[in-house]
Amino acid sequence: MSLIVQKFGGSSVADAERVFNVAGIVTETYDKGNDIVVVVSAQGDTTDDLIAKGNEINPNASKREHDMLVSAGEQISISLLAMAIEKLGYPVISLLGWQAGFQTSSAHTSARIKRVIPNRIRKELDKKRIVIVAGFQGLSKYDDITTLGRGGSDTSAVALAAAMHADLCQIYTDVEGVYTADPRLVKNAKKLQEISYDEMLELATLGAQVLNNRSVEMAKKYNIELEVLSSLVKAPGTIVKEKVKMEKMLISGVAKDTDIARISIVGVPDEPGFAFKLFSKLSSKNINVDIILQSIGHNGKKDISFTIPKDRAADAEAIVKDYAENIEAKNTFISTEVAKISIVGAGMESHAGVATKMFEALYDAQINIQMIATSEIKVSVLINKKDADRAVAAIHEKFFEQ
Amino acid sequence: MSLIVQKFGGSSVADAERVFNVAGIVTETYDKGNDIVVVVSAQGDTTDDLIAKGNEINPNASKREHDMLVSAGEQISISLLAMAIEKLGYPVISLLGWQAGFQTSSAHTSARIKRVIPNRIRKELDKKRIVIVAGFQGLSKYDDITTLGRGGSDTSAVALAAAMHADLCQIYTDVEGVYTADPRLVKNAKKLQEISYDEMLELATLGAQVLNNRSVEMAKKYNIELEVLSSLVKAPGTIVKEKVKMEKMLISGVAKDTDIARISIVGVPDEPGFAFKLFSKLSSKNINVDIILQSIGHNGKKDISFTIPKDRAADAEAIVKDYAENIEAKNTFISTEVAKISIVGAGMESHAGVATKMFEALYDAQINIQMIATSEIKVSVLINKKDADRAVAAIHEKFFEQ
């Protein structure tokens, strides 16, 4: 007998039919003799609908009241799922975040889980009940309801699995697992059997948003084995764990991120401190700079280019223009017509030539590389946005289809 | 400075405009220097919508999960009202039933309030905050969310007023107060300035459902002064309290109840015990018998007639038919074409002739009386249902318009 935590997202419980589908998965697992705790998000668009209701009344409402409002969403979904499981004839109970023992910081709308004290859950499991827990929510030390921010239900599930020393934490989504590339984009994309926490983290930040990053970090920290799988298609998913079998696979996947912008400053004095001042200005406004490229100095001047999230482009441009004027730089450029293409794989640490193989694929497809960044398990290139899908296909073919 | 509890029903907060209307009433009271606790029901049809959602999945769901589901309704309304009050620039906080200290029995869907421990509310009032509390809900000793049943928000408000020794408990509804008759029925119906708890209780059971009966009983027990008033029309309402000024008013109101049925058994043996056995059979099935009429025995036989709630008519008929066969009674009749018309007034205790005046009004209108029942503060008659509205008008005219 194992203790299994199963998490279902909002689309998995969007209507009565889907709720019964989830009830079927849960009771099938229960029938195999497992103890089960199920973490559920709010149904479909419920959270957005509640936010819209709140915005109609006061778009600047306090975050505390915002959390009070939106947390009603999971209260509805957990009771509906419990009712469906009752209908199938199984013993079940639904618990809100605070009843399930989720203690969080008091940073409303983006609270951090401080600890989970699952006494009530254990008591219900001892009664052989299936336990349904509201994801995404907890209680602050002031006894106020908090929410964890978007994607927080993944984190709820992993935190619970850690606190209860669960044998497995299954994250059910609307995809069948983690793929070597976006299956909507690359026809021959392959589902991975396994992926390491670090690779998963890189893929998440690179836009292949299957799992919430905080949840993967937490799974890594507490060494919780995750399985990403589909609530609609019955098939094994992808296991996320510390060490994976290397096989012949050098890289795990190809990812594309088009939510970025590139900014360039031409004619920065080639002296110490200039770059530092610019980036500290940006970071003081919470603008994350990703890839940075600095040209070799020439005639006492150099050029600096870097990428930032697209939705901060306007803020960043204002800072950069102001800075460029102060230092009498020659010119600034901003472009949102860029894409970052990355390959991720723990295998590349020990295998030379992975980056070369990627560049070769891009050269074969006649795609120009604007910038390059590498880490132990990742190579990213910045290219023209219009080439992005072709680039993913070319790289995927080179690594996975030959 | 006074402590005032204000309660607003679901129709008073049905949409954003109504929510701001309530926010206006609350903040106006706050501006006068009062401490305010506001008890709110779920918006408009929210509770019914949630119940429909639950029924779609499992019409026989446990009451525990039913309470988990529907209690989300007040969570939405309290946070929206708090957001509206924030928008008006006032300090405010919303609290769920359990946060506000409502401890109830564990009889889900019809829990009784056992005690209210308003520590959190007091702390928030000390911070000069307006406190918004979810009505209709509480927490059982098992830490499960309970609901009080329909109309429970009135009871929440009165229980809170009692626990906090509030100076006044205002119940805002969609009528302007308690009237001498239903204003939709009797054009000249007058709003009462005051009415006693006992009269209010009689009126409530007689179908003039302005206040939930349990809330009036609780107000009487703890001597909480209630004011019933409109959230839409700015005018003094009706005060409900222990002793009211008698003035010239003998009766407080005329009420009509058409949700009843009459059952008659002809030819019951005129011997002890026969009536007792019939009524104990009915009470064992939780069928409340109201007016009972027994004819004088004749030739060793008598007739028994009585009224019951209309929705239990089928159950009662089955019991009565079975009973009538056993005792070889001549015949049984059932009619739902009846109405109970009542006058209520503490004044009639000390004034003779009130009943006579009522009968005179009915005689003038040529309305036949089938049965009569009286108590210290009430006279009820059973008449043909088609005469009901005419009867109310005639009696109201006799007592209030001459």
Residue type, B367: I
Give me the mean pLDDT over the A377-395 stretch. 93
| Contact call for residues B179 and B253 (beta carbons, < 8 A) | yes
Q: Does B269 touch chain A (CB under 8 A)?
A: no
Three-point CA angle A131, A8, A2, nearest 5°: 50
Residue B386 backbone dihedrals phi, psi, to 5 degrees: -65, -20
**In the block, residue with structure tokens 């990742």:** A378
Distance of CA B174 to the CA centre of its chain: 14
Q: Does B79 touch chain A (CB under 8 A)?
A: yes
| Per-residue pLDDT, A137 | 97
Domains, chain A: 3-174 (3.40.1160.10)
Question: How close are the terminal C-alpha atoms of chain B, in Å?
Answer: 43
| Per-residue pLDDT, B276 | 80
Q: How far is A86 from chain B (nearest CA, A)?
A: 7
- Give the one of A16, A73, A144 whose C-beta lies nearest to B56's C-beta: A16
CA-CA-CA-CA torsion for A310, A314, A108, A80, nearest 10 degrees?
-40
Give me the mean pLDDT over the B244-272 stretch. 82
Report pLDDT digits (tens) over B156-205: 999 999 999 999 999 998 888 998 888 888 888 889 899 999 988 888 76
Of A375 and A93, more confident = A93
Report pLDDT digits (tens) over B6-54: 999 999 999 999 999 999 999 999 999 999 999 999 999 999 999 999 9
| Per-residue pLDDT, A390 | 95
Asked if the Cβ–Cβ distance from A93 to B54 is below 8 Å, we say: no
| Res A24 pLDDT > 70 | yes
| Chain B partners within 8 Å of A84 (Cβ) | 57-58
| Res A69 pLDDT > 60 | yes
Q: How far is B83 from chain A (nearest CA, A)?
A: 5
Q: Which long-range contacts (CB under 8 A, 24 or more apart) does A325-333 make?
A: A327/A268, A327/A269, A327/A274, A328/A267, A329/A265, A329/A266, A329/A267, A329/A268, A330/A266, A330/A267, A330/A301, A331/A265, A331/A266, A331/A267, A332/A263, A332/A264, A332/A265, A332/A266, A333/A262, A333/A263, A333/A264, A333/A266
Name the pLDDT band for B248 (thresholds 50, 70, 90).
low
Q: Which residue intervals of A242-312 are DSSP H helices? A: 274-284
| Per-residue pLDDT, A246 | 59
Distance of CA A69 to the CA centre of its chain: 24
**In the block, residue with structure tokens 């129709």:** B11
| Per-residue pLDDT, B123 | 98
Q: Report the half-sphere exposure of B138 (CA within 13 A, side-chain side).
A: 29
| Per-residue pLDDT, B100 | 98
Q: Does B93 touch chain A (CB under 8 A)?
A: yes
Nearest CA to B12 among B23, B28, B2?
Answer: B23
| Res A90 pLDDT > 90 | yes
What the block records as the tokens of A349 is 């640490």
| Per-residue pLDDT, B249 | 62
| Per-residue pLDDT, A42 | 95
Residue A268 backbone dihedrals phi, psi, to 5 degrees: -85, 135
Report pLDDT digits (tens) over B196-242: 999 888 887 666 667 888 899 999 999 999 999 999 999 999 999 98
Q: How far is A212 from chain B (nearest CA, A)?
A: 27
Distance (Å, whole) CA B319 – CA B334:
12
Of B300 and A171, more confident = A171
Q: For the residues of B39-95, what is the DSSP string, one character each?
A: EE---TTHHHHHHHHHHHH-TT--HHHHHHHHTHHHHHHHHHHHHHHHHTT--EEEE
Output the average pLDDT for chain A: 91
Output the average pLDDT for chain B: 91
Question: What residue in A sits closest to B81 (Cα-Cα)?
Answer: A57
Distance (Å, whole) CA A23 – CA A88:
8
Name the pLDDT band for B150 (thresholds 50, 70, 90).
low
| Per-residue pLDDT, A63 | 97
Q: For the residues of A339-393, what is the DSSP string, one character each?
A: EEEEEE-GGGGT-TTHHHHHHHHHHHTT----EEEEETTEEEEEEEGGGHHHHHH
| Per-residue pLDDT, B401 | 83
Distance (Å, whole) CA B76 – CA A28:
34
- Give the one of B19, B75, B145 whose C-beta lies nearest to A68's C-beta: B75
Distance (Å, whole) CA A174 – CA A18:
12
Q: Does B123 touch chain A (CB under 8 A)?
A: no
| Res A131 pLDDT > 70 | yes
Report pLDDT digits (tens) over A341-360: 999 988 776 676 788 889 99
What the block records as the tokens of B281 is 């059979």
Nearest CA to B343 among B299, B388, B383, B374?
Answer: B374
Of A52 and B151, more confident = A52
Nearest CA to B74 among B105, B97, B98?
Answer: B97
| Res A82 pLDDT > 70 | yes
Report pLDDT digits (tens) over A263-311: 999 888 888 778 788 888 888 888 888 888 888 877 888 888 899 999 8
Asked if the Cβ–Cβ distance from A86 to B58 is below 8 Å, we say: yes
> Pairing between strand B130-134 and B113-116?
unpaired
Strand runs (DSSP E) across A258-300, as ranges? Answer: 260-269, 292-294
